[in-house]
């Protein structure tokens, strides 16, 4: 069903979408990001959207329009297990506004409990932009207390992304500034086009990175370099970002403007054949281990390793090696 909605959405998935839903669902859909409740309702009948619409109309249902700023696409075939988070707030260049953040939080929460997901790619459908950062028009209408609460919600979102159990890849095919770069920093891996521009520019606006950037960037590139980048608010291109260790791969932009996405997809395809539970445990061991001393980190590694030993995938990996064939992992 998500693939159907995606086809309706691309390339302008931020346009208002009309869904026909029962009157008792109307109040739930007024909350930004809850359009997927209606999607699940329709999907349960395994019918087309048009068929559902006609049937619901006969039942005196009410139409509700919902703005979609973040959506999901689940790949199929050989890429089954790869899920794309699509950022498509076209008019505001994927700025981090209330609706955008609410929908992103909902989708990330869904992915965190989905065992079928093996790799998540965060990408933009807005040409030349990954995420432009804070929605300054919305922020200008907030008082100090409201602004603080909203930044707390941003920080919480980035933490949600960081603790997703599966590997995550940010595909930066354009500008990633402020909160946009903080979103990418919350991912495990990053690809960028050489033409992309990124930076934590908050000090140029009288602020500091408040959604995890002041903590994640030093852990990634080192304290001294992170201070220089944050103190100056400097923007760097994709190639420089690669040299600094800010991204994993940098590629020349192509005519369709999605070179970083294609590189992210290639990276996801390298991860996809590996044992899913082993990859999850490796991520947990690394993420938890880097925050503590080496002795404690070794204990964390031991615990994660112990959880892998009794799995069917480990037995399959050993059997495939002995039988000289490709393993067939199930995530069990």
**Which residues have a catalytic role annotated?**
134, 179, 182, 202
Diameter of the chain measured on Cα atoms: 66
What are the contacts of 24-32 at 24+ separation with CB within 8 A? 25/64, 26/62, 26/64, 29/64, 29/66, 30/64, 31/102, 32/67, 32/98, 32/99, 32/102, 32/103
If one counts every other C-beta atom within 10 angstroms of the C-beta of residue 321, the result is 10
Determine the Cα–Cα distance for residues 142 and 202; give it in Å rounded to an integer: 17
C-alpha gyration radius of the chain:
21
> Distance between alpha carbon 208 and the CA centroid of its chain, in Å?
23
- HSE-up of 269 (CA within 13 Å, CB side)? 11
> Which stretches within the chain are classed as H helix?
2-9, 23-29, 35-43, 49-58, 98-112, 136-140, 144-162, 179-186, 213-221, 223-232, 238-244, 259-271, 276-289, 294-308, 312-323
Determine the Cα–Cα distance for residues 13 and 73; give it in Å rounded to an integer: 12
Q: In the β-sheet with 129-131, what is the strand arrangement from edge to edge?
A: 129-131, 175-177, 197-199, 236-237
Q: In the β-sheet with 82-87, what is the strand arrangement from edge to edge?
A: 70-74, 82-87, 119-124, 168-172, 189-193, 249-251
């Amino acid at each position: 069903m998500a693939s159907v909605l995606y086809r309706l959405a691309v390339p302008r998935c931020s346009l208002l979408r009309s869904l026909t839903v029962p009157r008792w669902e109307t109040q739930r859909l007024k909350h930004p990001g809850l359009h997927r409740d209606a999607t699940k309702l329709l999907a349960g009948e395994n019918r087309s959207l048009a068929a559902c619409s006609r049937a619901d109309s006969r039942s005196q249902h009410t139409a509700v329009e919902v703005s979609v700023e973040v959506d999901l696409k689940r790949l199929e075939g050989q890429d089954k297990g790869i899920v794309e988070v699509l950022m498509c707030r076209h008019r505001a260049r994927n700025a981090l506004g209330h609706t955008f953040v609410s929908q992103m939080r909902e989708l990330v929460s869904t992915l965190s409990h989905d065992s079928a997901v093996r790799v998540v790619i965060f990408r933009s459908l807005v040409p030349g932009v990954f995420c432009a950062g804070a929605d300054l028009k919305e922020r200008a209408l907030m008082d100090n207390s409201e602004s603080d609460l909203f930044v707390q919600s941003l920080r919480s979102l980035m933490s949600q992304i960081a603790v997703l159990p599966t590997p995550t890849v940010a595909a930066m095919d354009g500008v990633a500034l402020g909160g946009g770069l903080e979103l990418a920093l919350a991912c495990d891996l990053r690809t960028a086009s050489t033409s992309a521009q990124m930076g934590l520019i908050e000090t140029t606006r009288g602020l500091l990175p408040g959604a995890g950037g002041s903590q994640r960037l030093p852990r990634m590139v080192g304290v001294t370099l992170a201070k220089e980048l944050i103190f100056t608010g400097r923007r760097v291109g994709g190639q420089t970002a690669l040299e600094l260790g800010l991204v994993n791969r940098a590629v020349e932009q192509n005519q369709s403007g999605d070179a970083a996405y294609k590189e992210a997809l290639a990276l996801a395809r390298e991860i996809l054949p590996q044992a899913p539970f082993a990859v999850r445990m490796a991520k947990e061991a690394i993420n938890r281990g880097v925050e503590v001393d080496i002795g404690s980190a070794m204990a964390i590694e031991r615990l994660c390793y112990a959880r892998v030993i009794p799995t069917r995938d480990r037995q399959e990996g050993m059997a495939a090696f002995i039988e000289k064939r490709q393993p067939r992992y199930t995530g069990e």
